[in-house]
Amino acid sequence: MRNVAIIARRELSQYFTSPIAYLVAFAILMLTGFQFNTDLASRVGQRPPDGTAVLAAFGFLTIFFAPLLTMRLFAEESREGTLELLLTAPARDGDIVLGKFLGAWAYYTFILGLTLTYQAIWLSITTVRAYEIAPELDIGPVISGYMGIWLFGGAALAVGLLFSAVTENQVVAGFLSISALFILWLGDFAGSVIQNRPVAEVIRSLSLQSHYSTSFLIGVIRFEDVVFFIGLIVAVIFITTRLIESRRWR
C-alpha cells in the first residue's frame, strides 16, 4: 500500500498544477452554481428547499468531466514514453493503476467537497428564516446524495482510467469514456421504452442513473446500489491492470 499512496499523492499533486484540472473544477462549480441559483430563485417563498438539486446536476456533469480528469493518466505517459519507466519501478502493476485511480478520485472528492457551500447556504437561509422559507432543509437525502455521487464519480473515473490505458491519444480516450458513460447513463431511459421486460430489466440494472437518481438522490441507500458501484470500480480496475500488464510483453 505504500507504493499506492506514493503514486496517488503524485497524481493528486499533478492535478493541482494542471490547468485542465482547474478548468474542469471551474466549469463544474460554475454550472452547479448556476443550477443552485436558479433552483434557489424558484423556491424562495414558494417551495421547500432541496439540497439534492445541485447533486442531480453534478451527477450528469460527471459523465462529461470525469473523462477529462482521467484521459491523461495513462495516455499521456504512453505517448511521452514515461509509462515504460514507471513499469520498471519497484511497484506492482495493480499498485500503479490503483494509485492513479485514487489520485483522480481524491481530486474529484475535493471538487465535490466545494459544493458543500451550497448546502451551507441552504442551512443558513432556513435557520434564520430568511426569504420566508418555512420548511427546513431535509438533511437525509443530502447525505445519501453525497454518498451516491461520490461512488458514482468513482465508477465514472474508473471507466475513464480504462480507456486512458487503451489508447495513447488523450482526445480519443476522453471521447470513448464520455461515449461509454453516456450510454450507461441512458440505460435507465432505454429500459423504460423497451417492450421486452426481461431485457429492459437487464439494461436498467446496468444503468448508472438507475442506481443513483432513484435511490441515493431521494434519500434511500440500497445495498445493491452500493455493491453495483463498488463492483463496477473493482471490475474496471482489474481489467485496466490486465491491460497494463500486457504492455510488459509487447
Could you count the other beta carbons within 10 Å of the beta carbon of residue 183?
Answer: 14
pLDDT in the model for residue 94: 81
**Residues contacting 67, CB < 8 A, separation 6+:** 156, 159, 160, 163, 173, 174, 175, 177, 178, 181
pLDDT in the model for residue 107: 94
Which grid cell is 163? 480507456
Please, where are the H alpha helices in the chain?
2-15, 19-43, 53-70, 75-80, 82-87, 93-114, 116-128, 139-166, 170-193, 197-205, 223-246
Could you count the other beta carbons within 10 Å of the beta carbon of residue 238?
Answer: 13
pLDDT digits (tens, 9 = 90+) for 235-248: 999 999 998 887 66
pLDDT in tens, the chain (250 residues): 778 888 889 889 888 888 888 998 999 999 988 888 887 777 666 666 777 888 888 988 999 999 999 988 888 777 776 666 666 767 787 888 899 999 999 999 999 999 988 888 877 776 555 444 445 667 888 889 999 999 999 999 999 999 998 888 888 989 999 998 988 887 666 555 555 566 556 666 677 887 888 888 888 888 988 999 999 999 999 999 998 887 666 5
Residue among 122, 221, 108 nearest 161 (CA): 108
pLDDT in the model for residue 33: 87
Distance CA 232, CA 66 (A): 15
pLDDT digits (tens, 9 = 90+) for 207-229: 788 788 888 888 888 898 899 99
Could you count the other beta carbons within 10 Å of the beta carbon of residue 47?
Answer: 11
pLDDT in the model for residue 201: 63
Q: Quick check: pTM over 0.85?
A: yes
pLDDT in the model for residue 3: 81
Which grid cell is 191? 429500459
Distance CA 184, CA 156 (A): 10
